[in-house]
């Protein structure tokens, strides 16, 4: 084979080696480990044209209509985003690498449940039948009991600093993410009909994780219908993977 | 001698043979039989040698068949890349991770092997280019799938690896399709890295569009170098470079607030409209003088796009619709007249 042949083969092998080395280095040590349930980590896939099975992280992301969105201007500035009005007018969108913190079944989830139920009760105030109101509320509560208990609570540029702030791996997941800022317009009133607001959103880089055929057998077996636990690990570079799937 | 020079020589021989027939028919020149025989034997041996060594087209019929093969090869490459991706998706769920990795690495290497074999077969150059494109597609699939399997952090460096393979296929084997893709991928990576270096992130490569303008004109400059080999590659550099530069210039000319020079929106739009006009005119002149078709197309395209965008801004609400389109038609007519004048000026007296 001539030199040009070795060059093209070398490029493919070198790029593959770099990607595999990164993967091996990440998985050479378990940094944090969190056990979730099928409420937070439902497994699906395995269709005719795409046979892989995926675990999808379900979580609640907070919203806030203040300038800077739910992350706030201080956190956005720490990520390197310019949140001044002039900069936002010039660049209406921005995307920066970050780490997101997701809290599992903690105070943030309890507050969220209380807030959702209170909000639903307010919408039922006009309903004249007390019995109907109670049954609707029960239905709503049971719906919440099937929902994911993961809530996004923080994001920052430094995973080590976040790990120090949230030291309990059973309670807090720290995952690679992208923080996006964008401009929103909203109507505020006749004197100033449109207000410009800087919003923010945090997206996990890998919300779907591959699950092996062996792991997924637990979900497929009849006993799997009762539910299952998923052990999610993150490694040296904080990239996550599914370590175990066990029956509940 | 490279393939392009060999094709030029074969075309010259063909034109010479056709002109000789006409000269004889018109009674201007009749070579004696011995000379005619010597010439014919020399040309036959020369064309056979060129066809064997460089796989060039030696008759109009083979040229037409080559064109047909190239079109079919492009369509075939797209279909085969889709087949490779869908094959992998169809079966990877039942394969352990080590098997998935082995399959992913083997796919581009296998395609490169078939490509290398096809380059050694006479008349199989379009087939070789088809497998070069499929190898590039399989390489894109490989790195993307490895990222999914191991949840690796998103990175722009995959574009560098894909671009490097495209460039190696373009420069090493004179394949225009993979070569052009390689230049475009490396250009994207370069602009993304410049965005990182200037305080932005690679996810937003047009944060400072001036960087894309600079990178585009650098690529165009590379495409102007006479030393750049093989001759199939410089047009790719010029086309990708000008497309990137003019796309960024048009963005700045219409959305001046995105400028990275600190100018006000209005000032930036005027500056970049003038710059687009001046550079597109200069590029058309360079293209006409050097006979570079892709350069003329890129320059004229940028000029006309700016003219259409600005004419809509200025006149759409102000004039009746029929008058707007009449003006646009007259401007196009003016461009045709100017180009015709240039064309006539290029004819011998």
Residue B338 CB neighbour total at 10 angstroms: 11
pLDDT at residue number A63: 81
The set of residues, in sequence order, having a beta carbon less than 8 Å from that of B41 and lying 6+ positions away, is none
Residue A69 tokens, joined: 């969105």
Of A7, A12, A89, the CB nearest to B172: A7
Fill in the DSSP letter of residue B153.
Answer: P
Is the Cβ–Cβ distance between B162 and B140 less than 8 Å? Answer: yes
Of B89, B257, B258, the CB nearest to A50: B89
Where is mean pLDDT largest: A26-30, A209-213, B42-46, B304-308? A26-30
A97:B151 CB<8 A: no
User: What distance in Å separates the CA atoms of residue A142 and residue A136, rounded to the nearest whole number?
Assistant: 10
A17 close to B (CB below 8 A): no
pTM reported for the whole predicted model:
0.85
pLDDT at residue number B202: 87
Nearest chain A residue to B115 by CA distance is A5
A48 contacts on B by Cβ (under 8 Å): 90
**Edge-to-edge strand list for the sheet holding A32-37:** A32-37, A228-234, A240-247
pLDDT at residue number A243: 93
pLDDT at residue number A122: 85
Asked if residue B294 has pLDDT above 70, the reply is: yes
DSSP string, B29-84: ----HHHHHHHHHHHHHHHHHHHHHH----SHHHHHHHHHHHHHHHHHHHHHHHHH
Mean pLDDT, residues B18-30: 88
pLDDT at residue number A192: 60
User: What distance in Å separates the CA atoms of residue B166 and residue B237, rounded to the nearest whole number?
Assistant: 12
User: What distance in Å separates the CA atoms of residue A7 and residue B312, rounded to the nearest whole number?
Assistant: 50
Asked if residue A225 has pLDDT above 60, the reply is: no
Mean pLDDT, residues B94-122: 93
User: What distance in Å separates the CA atoms of residue A95 and residue B122, rounded to the nearest whole number?
Assistant: 51
Torsion of CA A11, A14, A17, A18, to 10 degrees: -100
Asked if residue A193 has pLDDT above 70, the reply is: no
Asked if residue A189 has pLDDT above 70, the reply is: no
Q: What is the ipTM of this complex?
A: 0.87
pLDDT at residue number A45: 82
Tell me if residue A100 falls in helix, strand or coil: strand
Radius of gyration of chain B (CA): 25
DSSP string, A18-55: HHHHHHHHHHTS--EEEEEETTTS-EEE--SS---EEE
B168:A4 CB<8 A: yes
Percent of chain B with pLDDT over 90: 48
Asked if residue B131 has pLDDT above 70, the reply is: yes
pLDDT at residue number B32: 86
Asked if residue B217 has pLDDT above 60, the reply is: yes
Residue A167 CB neighbour total at 10 angstroms: 9
B91:A51 CB<8 A: yes
Asked if residue B219 has pLDDT above 80, the reply is: yes
Nearest chain B residue to A181 by CA distance is B204
Mean pLDDT, residues A1-8: 86
Please write the tens of the pLDDT for every residue from A122-154: 888 777 687 888 888 888 888 888 899 999 999
Q: Is residue A107 within a helix (H) or strand (E), and if so which, with residue range? A: helix A107-123
**Edge-to-edge strand list for the sheet holding A194-204:** A150-156, A93-104, A172-187, A194-204
The set of residues, in sequence order, having a beta carbon less than 8 Å from that of A169 and lying 6+ positions away, is A32, A33, A34
B169 contacts on A by Cβ (under 8 Å): 8
Residue B62 CB neighbour total at 10 angstroms: 15
Asked if residue A49 has pLDDT above 90, the reply is: no
B112:A12 CB<8 A: yes
Shortest CA distance to A68 belongs to which of A48, A44, A84? A84
pLDDT at residue number B64: 80
Of A8, A48, A94, the CB nearest to B112: A8
Nearest chain B residue to A91 by CA distance is B258
Of A19, A50, A94, the CB nearest to B204: A94
Residues in chain B: 349
Asked if residue B288 has pLDDT above 90, the reply is: no
B86 contacts on A by Cβ (under 8 Å): 49
Q: How far is B272 from chain A (nearest CA, A)?
A: 16
* Buried residues in B249-280 as b, exposed as e (16+ CB within 10 A): bbbbbbbbbbbeeebeeeebbebbbeebbebb
pLDDT at residue number A188: 64
Interface of A with B in 96-135 (CB under 8 A): 96-97
Mean pLDDT, residues A180-209: 80
Asked if residue A87 has pLDDT above 80, the reply is: no
> Which residue has 């994207």 as its token pair?
B188
Residue B50 CB neighbour total at 10 angstroms: 21
Is the Cβ–Cβ distance between A200 and A70 less than 8 Å? Answer: yes
Residue A125 CB neighbour total at 10 angstroms: 7
User: What distance in Å separates the CA atoms of residue B58 and residue B247, rounded to the nearest whole number?
Assistant: 40
B135 contacts on A by Cβ (under 8 Å): 8
A23:B152 CB<8 A: yes
Q: How far is A56 from chain B (nearest CA, A)?
A: 13
- Sort strands A53-56 and A43-45 into parallel, antiparallel or unpaired: antiparallel
Residue A80 tokens, joined: 């390197």
> pLDDT category, B252, cuts 50, 70, 90?
very high
Tell me if residue B133 falls in helix, strand or coil: helix
A15:B149 CB<8 A: no
Q: How far is A1 from chain B (nearest CA, A)?
A: 9
> Higher model confidence: residue B59 or residue A116?
A116
pLDDT at residue number A141: 85
> Higher model confidence: residue B298 or residue B207?
B298
Which of A13, A15, A49, A203 is best to mutate for the B interface (most B CBs within 10 A)? A15
Asked if residue B218 has pLDDT above 70, the reply is: yes
User: What distance in Å separates the CA atoms of residue A120 and residue A122, rounded to the nearest whole number?
Assistant: 5
Asked if residue A14 has pLDDT above 60, the reply is: yes
Which of B117, B150, B153, B172 is best to mutate for the A interface (most A CBs within 10 A)? B150
- Range with the lowest mean pLDDT among A212-221, B95-104, B159-168, B310-319? A212-221
Q: How far is A144 from chain B (nearest CA, A)?
A: 30
Please write the tens of the pLDDT for every residue from B68-103: 888 888 899 999 999 988 988 888 888 889 999 999
Chain B residues whose C-beta is within 8 A of a chain A C-beta are: 86, 89-94, 96-97, 101, 104-105, 108-109, 112, 116, 135, 139, 142-143, 146-154, 158, 161, 164-165, 168-169, 172-173, 199, 201, 203-204, 207, 257-258
A94 contacts on B by Cβ (under 8 Å): 201, 204
B201:A95 CB<8 A: yes
pLDDT at residue number A223: 55
User: What distance in Å separates the CA atoms of residue B232 and residue B227, rounded to the nearest whole number?
Assistant: 12
pLDDT at residue number B340: 78
Asked if residue A47 has pLDDT above 90, the reply is: no
User: What distance in Å separates the CA atoms of residue B204 and residue B195, rounded to the nearest whole number?
Assistant: 7
- Range with the lowest mean pLDDT among A241-245, B184-188, B342-346? B342-346
Q: How far is B144 from chain A (nearest CA, A)?
A: 10
- Range with the lowest mean pLDDT among B146-155, B224-233, B327-336? B327-336
B151:A209 CB<8 A: yes
B258 contacts on A by Cβ (under 8 Å): 90-91
User: What distance in Å separates the CA atoms of residue B4 and residue B299, rounded to the nearest whole number?
Assistant: 25
A176 close to B (CB below 8 A): yes
Mean pLDDT, residues A11-15: 97
Mean pLDDT, residues A155-161: 94
Asked if residue A100 has pLDDT above 90, the reply is: yes
> Which residue has 């005619």 as its token pair?
B36
A16 contacts on B by Cβ (under 8 Å): 104-105, 142-143, 146
Shortest CA distance to B346 belongs to which of B287, B289, B298? B289
Which of A11, A202, A216 is best to mutate for the B interface (most B CBs within 10 A)? A11
Asked if residue B119 has pLDDT above 80, the reply is: yes
Nearest chain B residue to A13 by CA distance is B105
Please work out, in degrees rounded to the nearest 5, the angle formed at the alpha carbon of residue B251 by the alpha carbons of B140 and B270: 160
β partners of residue B35: none
């Amino acid at each position: 084979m001539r030199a040009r042949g070795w060059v093209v083969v070398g490029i493919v092998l070198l790029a593959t080696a770099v990607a595999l080395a990164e993967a091996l280095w990440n998985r050479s040590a378990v940094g944090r480990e969190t056990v979730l349930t099928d409420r937070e980590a439902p497994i699906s896939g395995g269709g005719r044209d795409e046979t892989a099975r995926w675990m999808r992280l379900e979580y609640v992301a907070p919203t806030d209509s203040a300038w800077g969105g739910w992350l706030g201007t201080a956190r956005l500035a720490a990520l390197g985003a310019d949140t001044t009005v002039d900069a936002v007018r010039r660049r209406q969108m921005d995307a920066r690498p970050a780490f997101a913190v997701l809290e599992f079944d903690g105070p943030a989830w309890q507050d969220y449940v209380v807030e959702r139920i209170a909000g639903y009760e307010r919408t039922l105030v006009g309903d004249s039948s007390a019995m109907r109101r109670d049954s609707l509320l029960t239905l709503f509560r049971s719906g919440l009991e099937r929902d994911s208990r993961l809530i996004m609570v923080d994001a920052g540029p430094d995973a080590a600093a976040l790990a120090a702030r949230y030291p309990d791996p059973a309670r807090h997941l720290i995952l690679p993410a992208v923080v996006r800022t964008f401009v929103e317009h909203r109507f505020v009133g006749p004197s100033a009909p449109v207000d410009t607001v800087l919003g923010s959103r945090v997206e996990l880089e890998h919300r779907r994780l591959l699950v092996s055929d062996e792991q997924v057998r637990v979900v497929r077996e009849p006993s799997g219908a009762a539910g299952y636990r998923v052990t999610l690990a993150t490694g040296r570079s904080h990239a996550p993977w599914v370590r175990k799937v066990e029956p509940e | 001698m490279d393939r392009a020079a060999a094709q030029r020589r074969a075309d010259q021989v063909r034109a010479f043979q056709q002109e000789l027939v006409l000269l004889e028919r018109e009674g201007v020149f009749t070579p004696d039989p011995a000379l005619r025989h010597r010439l014919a034997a020399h040309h036959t041996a020369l064309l056979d040698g060129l066809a064997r060594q460089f796989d060039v087209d030696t008759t109009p019929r083979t040229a037409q068949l080559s064109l047909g093969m190239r079109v079919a090869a492009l369509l075939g490459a797209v279909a085969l890349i889709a087949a490779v991706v869908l094959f992998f998706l169809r079966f990877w769920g039942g394969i352990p991770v080590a098997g998935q990795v082995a399959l992913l690495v083997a796919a581009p290497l296998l395609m490169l092997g078939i490509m290398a074999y096809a380059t050694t077969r006479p008349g199989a150059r379009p087939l070789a280019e088809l497998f070069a494109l499929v190898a590039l597609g399989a390489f894109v699939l490989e790195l993307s799938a490895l990222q999914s399997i191991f949840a690796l952090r998103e990175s722009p460096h995959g574009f560098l690896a894909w671009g490097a393979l495209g460039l190696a296929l373009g420069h090493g084997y004179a394949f225009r399709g993979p070569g052009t893709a390689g230049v475009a991928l490396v250009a994207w990576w370069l602009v993304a890295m410049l965005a990182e270096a200037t305080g932005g992130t690679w996810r937003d490569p047009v944060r400072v569009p001036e960087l894309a303008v600079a990178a585009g004109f650098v690529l165009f400059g590379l495409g102007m170098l006479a030393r750049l080999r093989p001759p199939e590659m410089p047009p790719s550099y010029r086309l990708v470079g000008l497309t990137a530069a003019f796309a960024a210039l048009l963005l700045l000319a219409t959305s001046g607030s995105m400028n990275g020079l600190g100018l006000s929106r209005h000032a930036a739009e005027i500056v970049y409209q003038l710059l687009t006009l001046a550079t597109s005119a200069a590029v058309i002149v360079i293209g006409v003088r050097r006979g570079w078709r892709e350069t003329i197309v890129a320059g004229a395209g940028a000029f006309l796009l700016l003219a259409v965008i600005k004419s809509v801004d200025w006149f759409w609400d102000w004039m009746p619709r029929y008058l707007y389109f009449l003006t646009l038609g007259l401007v196009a007519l003016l461009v045709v007249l100017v180009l015709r004048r240039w064309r006539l000026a290029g004819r011998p007296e």
